[in-house]
């Protein structure tokens, strides 16, 4: 399965939000590779093996996975206003997906991670 097939399989009511999310990822994550892993679209740096961003159509919500802890920490105040697990931002209503926040998170993720603290 590829991402286009993933979108085609999503419920029609969620497809516009999911397609917009994909478009944001492709636009903001320049050079990242788009793949399907763990049954969902993921975005990996060239030559990398670990996803930094993923998203999925879940039964009750659209999920956006933000794997970089430095980015989550930098956006803690903005993320606090949303339904957020450890790395999963959940949007129960496709019409209320915060695309401005997602764009900011994607732009931050597109930057190289800072070196680990000694």
List all residues 6 or more positions away from 87 whose beta carbon is below 8 Å from its beta carbon. Answer: 65, 66, 67, 72
Does 117 map to a domain?
no
Q: Can you give the pLDDT at residue 93?
A: 93
Instruction: Kindly give the confidence (pLDDT) of every residue in the chain, 118 residues in length, as a single tens digit, with 9 standing for 90 and above.
Output: 899 999 999 999 999 999 999 999 999 999 999 999 999 999 999 988 899 999 999 999 999 999 999 999 999 999 999 999 889 999 999 999 999 999 999 999 999 877 776 6
Q: Can you give the pLDDT at residue 112?
A: 84
The domain tally of the chain equals: 1
CATH number at residue 86: 3.90.1150.200
Does 115 map to a domain?
no
Q: Can you give the pLDDT at residue 115?
A: 76
Name the pTM for this structure. 0.92
């Amino acid at each position: 399965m590829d991402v286009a097939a993933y979108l085609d399989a999503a419920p029609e009511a969620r497809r516009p939000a999911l397609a917009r999310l994909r478009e944001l990822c492709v636009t903001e994550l320049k050079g990242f590779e788009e793949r399907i892993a763990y049954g969902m679209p993921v975005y990996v740096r060239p030559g990398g093996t670990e996803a930094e961003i993923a998203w999925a159509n879940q039964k009750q919500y659209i999920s956006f996975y933000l794997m970089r802890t430095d980015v989550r920490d930098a956006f803690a105040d903005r993320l606090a206003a949303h339904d957020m697990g450890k790395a999963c931002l959940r949007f129960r209503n496709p019409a209320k997906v915060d695309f401005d926040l997602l764009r900011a998170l994607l732009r931050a993720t597109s930057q190289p991670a800072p070196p680990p603290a000694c």
